[in-house]
Structure 1
Amino acid sequence: MSNFLRALRAVLWSFIGLGGRRADADRRTEQVGVLPLMGVALAVVLLLIAGLLALAHFAAGT
């Protein structure tokens, strides 16, 4: 599995709170590294915000 997919998987699992045991989370962080995790997390948050803004814009009908 590529480094990007590992980081994405770790970030998504941490967002929904189903990360499993602490040892598993530590192992995933060590495999990927902190900086790639932070970058992927930032991108996911920005996509989430953009999606919510688009949904609000669509729901408002403007």
Structure 2
Amino acid sequence: MSNLMRAVRAVLWSFIGLGGRRADADRRTAQVGLLPLVGVALVTVLLLIAGLLALAHFAAGT
């Protein structure tokens, strides 16, 4: 599995809170590295916010 996919998987698991044991989370972080995790997390949060804004805009009908 590529490093990017490992980072995406680790971030998504942490967002929904099903990361498993602490040792598993530490192992995933060590495999990927801290900087890619932070980058993927920022992009994911920005996409989530953009999606929510688009949904609100669509729901308001403007």
> Could you state the TM-score of these two structures normalised by the residue count of structure 2?
1.00
Moved over 3 A (4+): none
**DSSP-derived class of the 1:18 partner:** coil
2:6 counterpart letter in structure 1: R
Q: Distance in 2 between matches of 1:41 and 1:3?
A: 14
Q: Matched residues in 2 for 1:46 and 1:56: separation?
A: 15
5+ residue gaps in structure 2? Answer: none
> C-alpha root-mean-square deviation of aligned residues, in Å?
0.2
Letter matched to residue 60 of structure 1: A
Q: Percent identity?
A: 87
CA distance, structure 2, for counterparts of residue 50 and residue 61 of structure 1: 17
The corresponding residue for 1:15 is 15
* 1:32 counterpart = 2:32: yes
* 1:50 Cα deviation from its structure 2 partner: 0.1
TM-score, normalized by length of structure 1? 1.00
The alignment covers a number of residue pairs equal to 62
User: Over residues 3-61 of structure 1, what are the superposed CA-to-partner deviations in whole Å (9 max), with x where a residue is unaligned?
Assistant: 00000000000000000000000000000000000000000000000000000000000
